[in-house]
Amino acid sequence: MAVRRRKGGRDGVSSSEAETVDCQEKKDAAGSNAGFQWTPVSILSVAVGLFMAYYSGSTHGWLMATLHENVLWFSNIKEVEREISFRTETGLYYSYYKQLVNAPTIAQGLYELVHDNITEHGKTINILERFNIYQEVVMALLYRFLSLQKTVEPVFFYIHAVFGLHSVLVMSLYGTTWLLSGSWLAGILSAAFYTFNKVDTTRVEFTIALRESWALPFWYMQMFLLTVFFHPNLHRNLKVVTVSLLYVCTFCFALTWQFAQFALLLQAMALFGCAVLDVIPAQKIRQVWLIQAGSLLAVCVCQFFNKMVLCSLVLSFIPSAMLVIAFKERVFTRRGLSWQFAGLVLNVILVMVSMLLFNKYVIKTIIRTDADQHIFNFLMGKFGLSGNQRDFDAQLYLCETAFRVLPLDTFVRLSKSLVFPLYAVFHLCVLLVLMQSVLQNWRYVRTMLLHVF
């Protein structure tokens, strides 16, 4: 009996892949048109869930502000003592906010930041290029535009803005858990775990002006929006709004923290794994990668074409990953189970090698800079791969507690609060389910190929 071959699909796409895409589009359209069946019970449940999200977030922000006040008596000490309480580099960041607030005019204040001759002795530098202080600029402009000089002291406006952002952080964590589990009770549990284990989740109450204190709320909002974006039945209009907000949050995250590029690199790598394993549609993952790249390029422009942003590994990883995924779709989509395993290993090797080669021999050759070399020296020193034990920058980072190996008492502490055992069991179950799903998917592809060919 003759077996008929399927006709070709879309341009450059295999017939099986085209049918999958068409089927998914019809399914999404059907899901969008069906809509959510609103009943009095469901309306009440959603209303209670939204209220608990607000309550969980606002309670966390209030707790952080209260702890900060109780430790420092912040509202009862002098202005100079408040400024001294900003530790290490946080005092430097706050000084730029204060400088712009007290400037005779906004234009003059911005000019002094761009042409700063105080921070580094004997040099005039551009603070907006050198440091991530756009959050201080925005807060100072808001303080002046809202005419709050007679009602709120600048320092209180500054610190409560950070605590407010961390309220949004917990709300975003709550919303992400709610979407993934389908129950707002899980959202309450995640918010409670985050707040009760504050020793291991946040240090905002005593390091208010650190870059991470500003950036992490945008990171959690971005993850919440990613959860919405990857929903299979997302309405087209909601998708446009989600993508726009996703870009804004990614941009703000990268703009407010110099280490955001490494978090985005890990996220891009995780998405690459999802694309290789066919867990998430590759088209959606490409959109997220483009959002990441666009956000970093916009940050580069805002920081007067900062070369460290252009040299970031994530900007080298994204084009490499796109090429490898395109190669995978054309070569390994029609293959059997053994080819899928071989392709998985090959794709990982290809993307890592191409990322390093593209970063070193293309980007850095064009830009002609080694501004991020101290970061690589630190990583080599941390993993014991560096032959130079006298590198000052690397040794300085390694002296910081935050960059050392995670102490064992962390696991003991998290086990007592049940976080680590639940985390380990949950991830083990997720990995087993993922493995089973991937194998079933690969076997299904092989079966379809046997029927087609």
Full DSSP string of 50-72 = HHHHHHHHHHHHHHHHHHHHHHH
Can you tell me the distance from the alpha carbon of 223 to that of 227, in angstroms, rounded to the nearest whole number?
6
Confidence of residue 394 (pLDDT cuts 50, 70, 90): confident
Q: What is the pLDDT of residue 390?
A: 67
Locus of tokens 């100079």? 80
Model confidence band, residue 31 (pLDDT cutoffs 50, 70, 90): very low
Q: Which residues contact 127 (CB under 8 A, 6 or more apart)?
A: 96, 113, 114, 116, 119, 133
Q: Which residues, at least 6 apart from 348, have a Cβ–Cβ distance to it below 8 Å?
A: 276
Residues above pLDDT 90, as percent of the chain: 64
Per-residue pLDDT tens digits for 73-122: 999 999 999 999 997 789 999 999 999 999 999 999 999 999 999 999 88
User: Mean of the pLDDT values across residues 17-42?
Assistant: 57
130-153 per-residue burial string, b: 16 or more CB within 10 A, e: under 16: ebbbbbbbbbbeebbeeeeeeeee
Question: What residues have CB less than 8 Å from 63, skipping those under 6 apart?
Answer: 195, 198
pLDDT of residue 73: 93
Query: Would you state the structure tokens that stand for residue 440, as one six-digit string?
Result: 């079933």
Task: Give the model's pLDDT for residue 425.
Answer: 95
Mean local confidence (pLDDT), 264-273: 96
**Which stretches does DSSP call E strand in 89-134?**
none
Q: What is the mean pLDDT of residues 312-339?
A: 83
- Of the pLDDT bands very low, low, confident and very high (cuts 50, 70, 90), residue 451 is low
Q: Return the residue matching tokens 């395993």.
A: 341
Q: Burial, 453: exposed, middle or buried (Cβ in 10 Å; 0-12, 13-18, 19+)? A: exposed
Digit-coded pLDDT (tens) for 47-80: 999 999 999 999 999 999 999 999 999 999 999 9
- Look over the chain and give the mean of its residue pLDDT values, rounded to a whole number: 87
Q: Which amino acid is at 285?
A: I
Distances (CA, A) of 297 to 35, 219, 289, 353: 37, 18, 12, 23
What pLDDT does 88 receive? 79
Confidence (pLDDT) at 209: 93
154-176 per-position pLDDT tens digit: 999 999 999 999 999 999 999 99
pLDDT digits 0-9 by tens, 355-393: 999 998 888 888 877 766 677 777 777 777 665 666 777
Alpha-carbon distance 262 to 430, whole Å? 25
Q: Where are the alpha helices (DSSP H) in 131-206?
A: 134-145, 154-181, 184-196, 198-201
pLDDT at 117 (0 to 100): 93
What type of residue sits at position 79?
A: E
Higher-pLDDT residue of 343 and 58 is 58
Indicate if the pLDDT at residue 26 is higher than 60. Answer: no
Give the rounded percent of residues in the chain with a pLDDT score beyond 70: 86
Pairwise CA distance, residues 423 & 415, whole Å: 10
- At 388 the pLDDT is 60
Neighbours of 337 (CB within 10 A): 12
pLDDT over 80 (residue 404): no
Residue 332 has pLDDT above 90, yes or no: no
What CA–CA distance (Å, rounded) separates 134 from 129? 10
Residues 378, 374: Cα–Cα separation, whole Å? 6
CB neighbour list of residue 376: distance below 8 Å, 6 or more residues apart: none
CA angle 311-316-328, nearest 5°? Answer: 175
